[in-house]
Amino acid sequence: MWFYNLLLSFDVKGLLLFVFMFLLIADFYKSRKPANFPPGPKALPFVGNFFSLESKHPHVYFQKLANIYGSVFSFRLGQESIVFLSGYKAVREALVTQAENFVDRPFNAITDRFYTEPSAGLFMGNGEKWKRQRRFALSTLRNFGLGKNSLEQSVCEEIRHLQEEIESEKGKPFSPAGLFNNAVSNIICQLVMGKRYDYTDHRFQTMLRCMSEAVMLEGNVWGQLYLAFPSVMRYMPGPHNTIFSHFTTLEQFISEEVERHKKDLDRDNPRDYIDAFLIEMQNHKDPQLGFTEANLAYCAIDLFLAGTETTATTLLWALVFLVKYPDVQEKIQQEIDRVIGQTRLPSMADRSSMPYTDAVIHEVQRIGNILPLNGMRAAAKDTTLGGYFIPKGTSLMPVLTSVLFDKSEWETPETFNPGHFLDADGKFVKREAFLPFSAGKRACLGESLARMELFLFFVALLQKFTFSVPDGVELSTEGITGTTRVPHPYRVSAQVR
């Protein structure tokens, strides 16, 4: 019996060794790189370079790799080799020059689990379905005020609510994060749902909290773990599961609004994006076009995510730098007093007369580095980038940090310097390497809305208040990195001017 057991144990060990060797060989062949593929760090079997990834600030780690391997390099995450692009020239080559080849998104395990339809939403969709939905969203948002005075008036009305909330603090230190989220998200609410929410509304606050947490988790190490090993992480406990529960909450929130809209829908007088989408659903029954109730929820969520997080976070960074550089804050207020005065709210017509303020807003966006990486792309066909071969289907990550801090494009890339956007005469200057909204066919569809909101909110806040922190308090510029890069929580005082 002992001999039989010994033989059996050898058979089990041999089988396990055979399985391991088989998987090792399979991994080797699967991960083999074609000739002239971009270089990168050596990877471990099965896990790739995952354990060398810096979880706190991945974009900083990728910048270090670019210094070693050049502007086009590869990095293996789990089973997949991703090509990273660093610097303005390499990023522009992919997103603008070869825009058609790099317009699609690769497979994403997180959205694949959440979306019940292929190519759903405005951010992760592909093909004709995505193109049609993007065109529809752009035209619909324009119809309901994007780029028009009517939306500008809505922003100004929201500004009054924001100013009242800040003034109620009576100069005491307060956290601006929640207020900025409330104000910015209400603009999207008016475009998508035709209504604004009171800042104390529980459902509204729940939606905002779920959005912020989901965006942070998706971009941190837990999100990266899920993307690298979805078949394992799907069944593992951990914070990554919160991403999906939050998305479900957001979907329920939108679905309730859709049901409300159905009850009093007027085909001849649509009030907002949801109304317009419901009418298109009646006109286009083919699900391949994307006009389904499920896709309505996904598109609306994408509009909220893109239209709230980035703009509110930019305003948070603006206060950090204005407090850090009070001379800049004072110079902006002098320009506001000279151009607008104290008796009326700002308008977009004022922007051309306020070059210094415009330059500061742009510099906040640049150095704030709100979206440190980017949305991934996939090569539609074999091509070359930076002299390297990129096979069809390769995932590509254009690193926006590398563009906004490119030493060959910016005079003092690591320093807050509004002069980056001013000429010798103090006039505003556009910079080609200013790409916080990405570029090409996947550039942020809400860019014009974001620019309007940033200018109007920023100017109105400094028109009425002077922001400061107590002596000895230093606001951190390090930031917390998820999908977006947000400031560490802070409190400021706002003195009425």
Give the pLDDT of the chain (497 residues) as one tens digit per residue.
554 454 445 565 665 565 555 555 655 556 677 889 999 999 877 777 888 888 788 999 999 999 999 999 999 988 889 999 999 999 999 999 999 999 999 999 998 898 888 888 999 999 999 999 999 999 998 888 776 777 899 999 999 999 999 999 999 999 999 999 999 999 999 999 999 999 999 999 999 999 999 988 888 888 888 888 888 889 889 899 999 999 999 999 999 999 999 999 999 899 999 999 999 999 888 888 899 999 999 999 999 888 888 899 999 999 999 999 999 999 999 999 999 998 899 999 999 999 999 999 999 999 999 999 888 999 999 999 999 999 999 999 999 999 999 999 999 999 999 999 999 999 999 999 999 999 998 988 888 889 999 999 999 999 999 999 998 899 999 999 988 999 999 999 999 99
Does the residue 5 lie in any domain? no
What are the distances in angstroms from CA 279 to CA 69, 132, 192, 285, 339?
Answer: 52, 15, 14, 11, 44
DSSP state of 493: E
494 residue type, one letter: A
SS3 72: strand
The reply to whether 13 falls in a domain is no
Given the structure tokens 């005075």, which residue do they identify? 149
**207 CB neighbour count, 10 Å cutoff:** 24
User: 301: exposed, middle or buried (C-beta count within 10 Å: 0-12, 13-18, 19+)?
Assistant: buried
**419 domain residue, yes or no:** yes
Q: Is residue 2 in a domain?
A: no
Contacts of 132 (CB under 8 A, 6+ apart): 289, 290
pTM of the model: 0.91
Instruction: Please tell me the total count of domains within the chain.
Output: 1
1 falls within a domain: no
DSSP 242-305: HHHHHHHHHHHHHHHHHHHHHHT--TTS--SHHHHHHHHHHH---GGGT-SHHHHHHHHHHHHH
Structure token digits, residue 10: 């050898």
* CATH assignment of the domain containing 284: 1.10.630.10
Q: Which tokens in the block code for residue 96?
A: 């603008």
Domain span holding position 414:
31-496
- For 40, 74, 335, the CA distances from 66, given in Å and listed in that order, are 9, 10, 41
In a domain, 61, yes or no: yes
Tell me the C-alpha distance between 343 and 348, whole Å: 16
Q: Residue ranges of the alpha helices (H) in 115-169?
A: 127-143, 149-167
State the helix-helix crossing angle for 447-464 and 355-368, rounded to 10 degrees.
Answer: 120
Q: Would residue 397 count as lying in a domain? A: yes
| 23 lies in some domain | no
What number of residues does the chain have?
497
